[in-house]
Amino acid sequence: MGLTAAEVLAGADGRLGAYVHIPFCSSICPFCPYNKVLADDALARRYVAALCTEIGWYVQAAERAGLTPFTSLYLGGGTPTLYPRAIGAVIAAVPVSGERAVEVLPTHATPDRLDELAGFGVDSVSIGAQSFHDEVLRRLRRPHDAATARIAVSTALGRFDCVDVDLIVDVAWDAGRVSGTGLAGAFLADLVTCFELGVDQVSTYPLMRFGYTPFGTARHDRRREHAVLAEAAALAEAAGYQRRSVWTFNRRGSRPYTSITRRRYVGWGAGATSFTGRDYYVEHFGVRSYAQDVEQGRLPIARHLRLGRWGGAGYDAFWQAYAGGVDVAALQADFGPAVGLAARALLAPGLLIGDVRRTRRGVALAGHGWDRYHDLERAVTYHLIEPLWAQMLAEHARESPPSSCRARWARPERGRRSRSWALTCRAFERPVPP
């Protein structure tokens, strides 16, 4: 007998946010490394039924354990707005005390569809604009143009408590180093556009080159990335925005849109993950594998990393730092005095050189600390996250029967091989009960 929802939640040492993954897309963007498949309405109906069943297991277990309501609910993908009724069903099933947030494709940001989302209780949206320059969008193979992106943002403003806009920057393009392009300065111009529109938050993601995606691997110009982000921070400050995380800028007084800095969270759906404090779980990436497990009464968990006290504290501190600081007092309260002492010792050099500054409960990033975390995040992504996701994406090729919606964009064998990931598995991975 496999793990139960009650057993997963028993490891939670605090309140939990919730994340739901909808993996279906009408077209595949080559830069996006997340778990996704081409839309198939029949498979989507099967998937949503399984998803609602899994959510029901967790909600019942959470209610018995006194862990409801969940602190937040985020729906990502994929393209969740392909199936608005699924969004409504999920929101109706999950008791939430905080924000209810959804990723929105610009072509779906029509007044009627956004009003429908608001009617479901959605109060935060992230518009996947990526750019307001058509040439950038063509290179990213986005299914919309710059005018549509601008209209989508304008339509969303005023309908929700928080409107976030996602932008992608590749400094090789933005510096005009790709021959025959007119992209120099496009990213910073896009950022200013967001400020002028008055969005609540701008998420500025440097292009990640995952080996298993069509974009493949490439070297990154770290210094240029640092310089561009510094320029972005200066523009934000001048426009009345503040840096709330390594890559996000918020209008002063606005609330953040982020699904990755919940200190504890549970994830549902093909490709979702959960972190309960000392344990990390990964659900099946294969859509059929996910649905089959649920239909047979099993949690669709494919990986379980037993992080323990030190691994859990490290994971917690890493994502706290992404959001701009580390709450050492919270780490000590959750993981013990030894962890608190270790955190203070590790952060001491940063205080001396000005990469962090002391706060009432810990430290906040400062000066070149933002750049150092940017580099650390990229290293963690390529040496830990990419090898894991490449392994999990291989599930698509093994699924039966074959399907036209399979994730053919992914080439798991081209994913980076990492000794760091192999060592992590040896240290933390535990077999998932059949």
Query: Could you read off the pLDDT of 291-316 as tens digits, one per residue?
Result: 999 999 999 999 999 999 999 999 99
pLDDT at 180 over 70: no
Token digits for 190?
């896009």
Q: Work out the pLDDT band at 256, boundaries 50, 70, 90.
A: confident
Measure the CA–CA gap between 283 and 33, rounded to whole angstroms.
16
Return the residue matching tokens 């972190």: 275
What is the CB neighbour count within 10 angstroms for residue 358?
Answer: 12
Q: In this structure, what token pair is assigned to residue 305?
A: 């990393």
Kindly report the CA angle at 43 between 82 and 266, in degrees rounded to 5? 70
Half-sphere exposure in the Cβ direction for 279 (13 Å, CA): 21
Residue type at position 214: P
Q: How many residues does the chain have?
A: 434
Distance CA 55, CA 93 (A): 7
> Is residue 176 scored above 70 in pLDDT?
no
Average pLDDT over residues 142-154: 97
- Mean of the per-residue pLDDT values for the chain? 93
Instruction: Give tens-digit pLDDT for 198-249.
Output: 999 999 999 999 999 998 887 888 898 999 999 999 999 999 999 999 999 9
- Cα 411 from chain centre: 21
Q: Does 83 score more than 90 pLDDT?
A: yes
Reading the block at residue 25, the tokens are 């897309």
- The residue that leads in pLDDT, 299 or 430, is 299
Residues 313 and 336 sit within 8 Å (Cβ to Cβ)? no
Calpha distance 323→321 (Å, rounded): 5
User: How far lies 401's CA from each of 8, 49, 286, 294, in Å?
Assistant: 31, 19, 12, 18
C-alpha dist (Å) from residue 230 to 24, 251, 368:
35, 17, 10
Say if residues 261 and 324 touch (Cβ distance below 8 Å). Answer: no
33-43 residue pLDDT tens: 999 999 999 99
H or E element that contains 302 = strand 301-306
At residue 181 the predicted structure's pLDDT band, cuts being 50, 70 and 90, is low
Say if residue 178's pLDDT is above 60: no
CA distance 206 to 384: 18
Coil vs helix vs strand at 86: helix
- pLDDT, tens digit (0-9, with 9 covering 90-100), for 237-250: 999 999 999 999 99
180: left (phi over 0), alpha (psi -120 to 50) or beta: left
Ramachandran sector of residue 277 (left: φ over 0; alpha: ψ -120 to 50; beta: rest): left
- Say what the pLDDT of residue 284 is: 97
Q: Give pLDDT tens digits for 358-401.
A: 999 999 999 999 999 999 999 999 999 999 999 999 999 888 77
Q: What is the pLDDT confidence band of residue 179, given thresholds at 50, 70 and 90?
A: very low
For residue 49, which of 83, 4, 7 has the smallest C-alpha distance? 83
Query: Cβ(51)–Cβ(90) under 8 Å?
Result: yes
| pLDDT at residue 218, as a whole number | 79
329-367 pLDDT, tens digit each: 999 999 999 999 999 999 999 999 999 999 999 999 999
pLDDT in tens, 37-78: 999 999 999 999 999 999 999 999 999 999 999 999 999 999
**pTM for this predicted structure:** 0.95
